[in-house]
Structure 1
């Protein structure tokens, strides 16, 4: 089992595994066994996986038979994937990080899960998250705390922290997460993988809880390569007729995108507008910008006045509290306080936003959208930090960042503007802290311009100074 747990297959990306399976160089059974053995060996330490799918090995055997019989194969045929435990999976527990939902088994797959399966991927496991998907650390009363494989004393982030840790350490090649303010991009940066928060509505939220406030929620792929994000996005995108926000065209049809005949224009921004940023993170963003300039893109530092006028984190907090409180209130009604963890209790204790503040915040959100619209008249992309610091120690509530003391919500300062506005963004590693921790950068595009930021991310990936690093476990 130890040899299988250390198989090189566990660090192949999903695209490579699909090709190896399609060309019969490796069987789906071998790939599945390698990942299951990896989970058995490492999950007791990382605690990223909360449920293993009992039928995964049998599904791999079925996939192997399809290859051998010459059947038509999907683009991810035989490739395992994992799913955050707030996303419904038919006949597989989806417990939302809470004793309130312990043992809950949905009848249907979320749209995103169904599309992955249709592409031939095999559901391997469900991954850990904060209670109700609501916090920047993946910890709850039901399945406990997930550790960062780069340093077990640190968090892999939230709310898709189990997903990020599983992919980073080779327990999964590809996964699905959700993002309300930071939740696929922050965890990716903290564990050194890649993730995509698409334009709002590109990937349906059908089968994901909580449903509100859906104007800020996104489903997105998490992986170890930009080409895997590209492939997953091509599979996941498009309306499903059930999520009313998911009305945009498919991923590439009529998509705003780059032209190879035109020099791309990219701005980079560290401060102001996001709150304080650690110097190591700032240096990483500047290094990524310089790398793009060296590759022939037009790159320059920018300021976005809308971000300086309206702090997006404040706008977000005033807009989402009442809707989230109602969802939490309904979920916890009649339940013992012993079944409710600290973040749900905190949310339920917050005062409601006044109507005047709510209206003011809605107007601020419009100003932020307008400000970004103006920016993207001149530029194709924006390079920013993902997080203001690398992965932090477990359980911290306040941080000193570049000499300024802030509370933990400030970790969302550079990511939440994309949720308020609905813009797409990619998180990818481009640096390493003095303590050996991953540092990520965020590549932001205009609405529907995923093809542009995927292209820019692929350029950065080719010249990345971090190479193909993995946690030493």
Structure 2
């Protein structure tokens, strides 16, 4: 029965708990057992919540008593170890913050709990969430459950690996250039980076540069991600970037009253793209076309003219270094190589900083023009499937490129604040998951969630998992 439980998505688990076909205790125990079995192999979980079973017993009593139940009542969730969790360590992937225990939950964590979900565990990340792999001096390296010699990505690689391996049905992650969508694609799960500000960043560190940081849900199904988003979105009165709308339409199962127009793009604009990735994006375009969506190849001039990742590096070098140096002062021997690399990055001149900000405005304008004609964009998430640990470069179709190129198809959404959904739609020649990315206009998450559900319903890999 335990293997059946860990394969069900959060929505189904909540339904079975409401109908008393499963108890929260059974569900939490099944996932705790899965962590005990699998985590030594993949190192995705860094801390198990000490009171998870106690919370499950309370949830079970509430269900049996006929109390009003939240949409995720009794369902366990995990959170990247950058989210503050009351009474449970939040260590940021750094020995400097070892055993740091927050007094309060981040609003995102509190909202999951208000929906009845039970905090199960915290998951691994790179130090301070700043790298494309989930590796640090405190808790070590997370491995991809599809192939232990490959990375699950970063910075939310612990979260994506945990969900892919059945340690958790749903979780919380963050994204500043790739960190929700990339790990989701590399491990074959679903991740949403919503419009900037839709989910508050309060209680999540680092705080800078906050205008590019996003929080978002991860799960194994689009409907779970949509549910998570509906629970997490909305202003909190503390994050000045957070926004809300009178109503939130998740879009799953929605019936648009007109044909949806989608442009699809592999190149130019994203650099070198692996053949398996390119063919998966094209297959997804054909699948949408077969579902009645208007789909056509496109070019987006600003993607060819401006490299969003270059802009992020120029701005982060100025903004993260002071914050990181402040918290690491006196602990220089405890800093891992990736944060050291940030310290070694040359400062950006004021002239270049201003120019980068102006290019971001131009990129936003370019996408505003694109979305005058199209409702969504379909494109790659990462240029390659899951790559080897600590890779410094990739060979893509005979071309050698820096491993930082892994962010070239995702960073543009962070500088513009546009929402993006990543989900699996293919398999590489090595048997690894291949994802696609759906992008919609600002505040139009319902569009990409609807399109994602369409793709999921016809996906050739829907029932594949690494266990």
| TM, length-normalised to structure 2 | 0.98
Residue aligned with 1:306, SS:
helix
Equivalent position to 1:123, from 116, 119, 122: 119
Q: After the TM superposition, which segments of 4 or more aligned residues of structure 1 sit over 4 Å from their partners? A: none
Equivalent-residue separation in structure 1 for 2:168 and 2:453 (angstroms) = 21
Equivalent position to 2:410, from 415, 424, 427: 415
Instruction: State the 1:23 CA deviation.
Output: 0.4
Equivalent position to 1:323, from 319, 328, 333: 319
- Give deviations 1:208-241, integer Å, cap 9, x for gaps: 0000000100000000000001111110000000
Please tell me whether the aligned partners of residues 105 and 203 of structure 2 are also in contact (alpha carbons under 8 angstroms).
yes
Please tell me whether the aligned partners of residues 203 and 238 of structure 1 are also in contact (alpha carbons under 8 angstroms).
yes
- Residue in 1 aligned with 2:155? 159
Matched, 1:71 2:57: no
Instruction: State the 1:251 CA deviation.
Output: 6.1
Equivalent-residue separation in structure 2 for 1:249 and 1:102 (angstroms) = 38
Please tell me whether the aligned partners of residues 202 and 251 of structure 1 are also in contact (alpha carbons under 8 angstroms).
no
Equivalent position to 1:391, from 386, 394, 397: 386
Equivalent-residue separation in structure 1 for 2:404 and 2:67 (angstroms) = 50
Please tell me whether the aligned partners of residues 46 and 139 of structure 2 are also in contact (alpha carbons under 8 angstroms).
yes
- Residue in 1 aligned with 2:191? 195
Residue aligned with 1:282, SS:
helix
Equivalent-residue separation in structure 1 for 2:247 and 2:338 (angstroms) = 35
Residue aligned with 1:178, SS:
strand
Please tell me whether the aligned partners of residues 226 and 250 of structure 2 are also in contact (alpha carbons under 8 angstroms).
no
- Residue in 1 aligned with 2:293? 297
**Structure 1: segments with no counterpart, 5+ residues:** none
Matched, 1:469 2:464: yes
Residue aligned with 2:421, SS:
strand
- Residue in 2 aligned with 1:181? 177
Equivalent-residue separation in structure 2 for 1:86 and 1:142 (angstroms) = 14
Aligned residues: 466
Q: 1:274-285 counterparts in 2 under 5 A?
A: 274-285=270-281
- Residue in 2 aligned with 1:308? 304
Instruction: State the 1:250 CA deviation.
Output: 5.8
Q: 1:249-288 counterparts in 2 under 5 A?
A: 249=245, 252=248, 260-288=256-284
Equivalent-residue separation in structure 2 for 1:356 and 1:383 (angstroms) = 34
Equivalent-residue separation in structure 2 for 1:456 and 1:436 (angstroms) = 25
Equivalent-residue separation in structure 2 for 1:71 and 1:211 (angstroms) = 38
- Give deviations 1:248-295, integer Å, cap 9, x for gaps: 32661799x986210000000111111211111000000000100111
- Residue in 1 aligned with 2:429? 434
Equivalent position to 1:169, from 150, 153, 165: 165
Instruction: State the 1:48 CA deviation.
Output: 0.3
Please tell me whether the aligned partners of residues 94 and 138 of structure 2 are also in contact (alpha carbons under 8 angstroms).
yes
Please tell me whether the aligned partners of residues 239 and 250 of structure 1 are also in contact (alpha carbons under 8 angstroms).
no
Please tell me whether the aligned partners of residues 238 and 250 of structure 1 are also in contact (alpha carbons under 8 angstroms).
no
Please tell me whether the aligned partners of residues 80 and 173 of structure 2 are also in contact (alpha carbons under 8 angstroms).
yes
Residues 1:15 and 1:241: Cα distance change in structure 2 (over 3 Å): same
Instruction: State the 1:54 CA deviation.
Output: 0.7
Please tell me whether the aligned partners of residues 250 and 446 of structure 2 are also in contact (alpha carbons under 8 angstroms).
no
Residues 1:422 and 1:258: Cα distance change in structure 2 (over 3 Å): farther
Equivalent-residue separation in structure 1 for 2:295 and 2:181 (angstroms) = 23
- Residue in 1 aligned with 2:128? 132
Matched, 1:340 2:338: no
| TM, length-normalised to structure 1 | 0.97
Instruction: State the 1:412 CA deviation.
Output: 0.2
Please tell me whether the aligned partners of residues 85 and 96 of structure 1 are also in contact (alpha carbons under 8 angstroms).
yes
